[in-house]
A and B are shown apart, each in its own frame.
Chain A
Amino acid sequence: MSIRLKLLLLLFGLLVSLMVCLQIGAVPLSWSALVEPKLDGGMSQQIFFELRLPRLLLGVLAGASLALCGGLLQDLSRNQLADPYLFGIVAGAAFGATIVTVWLPNLSIALPIAAFIGALLAISLVIAFVSVNRRNQLEHWVLAGVAVSFLLSSLGSAFLYMGDAFAANRIMFWLMGSLARAQITAVWVIAPVLFMTLAIIIFWRREIAALHFADATAKSLGVAVNKVRLGLLLCSAALTAVVVSYCGGIGFVGLLVPHLIRFWLGNSPLPMLFGSALAGAILLIWVDAAARTLLPSQEIPLGVLTSAIGSMFFLLLLARRR
């Protein structure tokens, strides 16, 4: 099967998944009532357009974004274990979310904004560290990310300890990730960042391919290694930050999906990245469908499911590779 066909297959899979998952939910919807709202007083329409559709779209965008960022960062850092949360973005977002949850618990609009600012803070700290020390090597980026991640986590924990017990509860569940509070505004914020990142990836496709080699080799091919890397890092950081701000920490999608896709589509950057985005979207909307229907009277946090499924798949994949 050619790569083109495989990508087409993924796209088709996404469309089918969208159609199927739109019909899965806590409440069975009747299509006749959807077309003719008088039948049930507009209930089906309200559930469909105000709850299920925004949630599904957010799932598509979040899944695609996380998988894309994961694949991109794995390429940029030449590190198989890279994932979108590499630079302390989740820790930063959680730190912002914690401050707001403790100080302004009733202002729901503030949470995504604070989470975004927190994520930006994490990235800025990493960039500041790397540029102040003029150590622009990859491992410094990664290690600075780990350190910043721990720093912000500890600050967040300190705030939680000072705050009330309910704040700790809320943050913990927020961190597990969810699409339940999906609003159409989240779609409007994430979509442009995702499409901009995709456009930049297409524009820099040759440079990304060159980065598979050592920096010196890439430079000899005429690639402005530092500029390209910084630009793409910023893109993926911004994309991850907006996703985390609205959906919390959805684990493992960004690590697992690119690996699966590399296995199937090969290492060539463009098909791998686009394939990852499509597969990430498919994975997340199915996991979300499971999250909202597996238990009869409650929802399972997304992160619980993605990490459980992800880690099992990952081990299976490793076993088969050997």
Chain B
Amino acid sequence: MKLLLPALGRWFSLFAVGVCCLAQTPAAFSKQTEEQTAEQAAPQTASTPPPTRLIVLAPNLVELLFSIGAGEQIIATSEHADYPTAASAIPRVGNYAGLQLEKIVALKPDLILLWRSGTPAADIERLSQLGFHLELFEPTQLDDVASDLERLGRISGHVDEANQQAKQYRQTLAALRQQYSSQSPVSVFYELWDSPLSSIGTSAWPNQHLQVCGAQNVLASSTVAYPQLSVEQVLVLDPQLIIQPVSANEPRGLLNWQQYPQLQAVRNSQIIRPNSDLLHRASIRALTATKDLCEQVAKTRHFYRQQADSGEKNTYTGKTPSAPRN
């Protein structure tokens, strides 16, 4: 031990000196990165030519850019950007868990477009430290898709197409709202996932589709965006319609509601399976899904109204939820 210690001490100090020297080099050598936060990122003005090399780190933004004819400008994107088909061919530089910063630097983008909630904050900060111009998007309402379209138009230089698309989107949304949202409410249970049984609260994205369609979420009072619950609670809430969104790309398990015939939705076969790929993504196609959903909800509404009119036992009062039956 006595012999060993001086030797170890020497290595230790060598190691320490080495690390300190190495640690200083980046600061000395690295070129001064622009002090620029995401919020300060310079908006594109008419005088400067639009950026042609975009890295777009969210599937919905990729989709919106393609819809305004700016898909060609995307040089890299993240996993899950699968629509339109051309998007699948774009090189990938990471996913929602993390980004490949080295590749992003090597691609030399003019601008990086991000979805704030879908990207780790540390990655966003790292990107702005590296001197990139960032544009952050955070759609929370269906209406935000239109304003995002207009913003993407300004960014990519496709202003006319974008404004046109945004206008059309707003008109379609307004028409859907006018047609359905003030109809008599249909109580629905949205089965987001079967195990553990999870649903949505009012602050969750899919709940907006329900609002447009005049459907009343039985978990509207939930303070949590994605509440978990038991089948017993659903039995008590007894919704008129059960929605089981399914994805074409990601398989999921579906709860077999047929084993609970005491539910009015089961007894009356009011269970639907809309396309979650469309419902859960903030894109133009979401409205197609909204329209389909609204039509299905309208069918359910019609069904219960007819049932009420024919004076059957289960009188629908228009109030939700109804009391459990034995």
Contact = CB atoms under 8 A, between A and B. Distances in A.
Contact of A161 (B22, B33, B97, B224): B224
Contacts of B225: 164-165
A4 B2 CA distance: 12
Contacts of A298: 79, 92, 94-95, 97-98, 100
A292 B100 contact: yes
A307 B56 CA distance: 33
A53 B22 contact: yes
Interface stretch (B11-19, B209-217, B239-247, B288-296): B11-19
A105 B1 CA distance: 51
A173 B224 contact: no
Contact of A111 (B22, B94, B122): B122
Contacts of A181: 98, 120, 122-123, 126
Nearest to B192: A165
A4 B7 contact: yes
B8 to A, nearest CB: 6
Contacts of B102: 25-27, 47, 51-52, 292
A23 interface: no
B103 A27 contact: yes
A270 B103 contact: no
Interface string B198-229: 00000100000000000000000001111010
Interface residues of B, number: 57
A166 B205 CA distance: 12
A46 B12 CA distance: 30
B51 interface: no
A46 B23 contact: no
Contacts of B326: none
Nearest to A60: B19
The majority secondary structure among interface residues of chain A is helix
B62 interface: no
Contact of B8 (A7, A45, A46, A188): A7
B176 interface: no
B120 to A, nearest CB: 6
Nearest to B136: A106
Contacts, number: 152
B46 interface: no
A43 B106 contact: yes
Interface in A151-180: 161-162, 164-166, 169-170, 173-174, 178, 180
A173 B103 contact: no
A188 B22 CA distance: 11
Interface in B1-46: 1, 3-5, 7-9, 11-12, 15-16, 19-20, 22-23, 25-27, 29-31, 33
B121 A188 contact: no
Contacts of A46: 30-31, 105, 130
Given A50-B130, A54-B26, A57-B22, A41 B108 contact: yes
Interface in B96-145: 96-103, 105-106, 108, 116-118, 120-126, 129-130
Interface in A1-55: 3-4, 7, 11, 25-27, 37, 41-43, 45-47, 49-54
Contacts of A195: 12, 16
Nearest to A180: B98
Nearest to B131: A46
A223 interface: no
Contacts of A61: 19
Contact of A107 (B26, B94, B121): B121
B261 interface: no
A308 B217 CA distance: 43
A79 interface: no
Contacts of B226: 164-165
A179 B46 CA distance: 40
A268 interface: yes
Nearest to A18: B22
Contacts of B99: 180
Given A106-B116, A181-B126, A202-B5, A173 B98 contact: yes
Nearest to B223: A162
Contacts of A49: 25-26, 29-30
Given A25-B102, A184-B26, A191-B19, A108 B5 contact: no
Given A297-B92, A298-B95, A162 B224 contact: yes
Interface in A99-117: 105-109, 111
A66 B224 CA distance: 37
Contacts of B103: 26-27
A169 B118 CA distance: 9
Contact of B11 (A11, A41, A57, A109): A11
Interface of A: 3-4, 7, 11, 25-27, 37, 41-43, 45-47, 49-54, 57, 60-61, 105-109, 111, 161-162, 164-166, 169-170, 173-174, 178, 180-181, 183-184, 187-188, 191, 195, 198, 202, 205, 268, 270-271, 274, 292, 296-299, 301
Given A106-B116, A108-B125, A183-B129, 19 more contacts: A4-B3, A4-B4, A26-B102, A43-B108, A45-B29, A49-B29, A50-B30, A53-B25, A53-B26, A111-B122, A183-B126, A187-B23, A195-B12, A195-B16, A271-B4, A298-B98, A299-B100, A301-B97, A301-B98
28 contacts: A3-B4, A7-B11, A25-B102, A26-B102, A43-B108, A45-B29, A45-B31, A46-B130, A47-B106, A49-B25, A49-B29, A50-B26, A50-B33, A53-B26, A60-B19, A108-B125, A111-B122, A165-B225, A169-B96, A174-B120, A180-B123, A183-B129, A187-B19, A296-B92, A297-B94, A298-B100, A299-B97, A301-B98
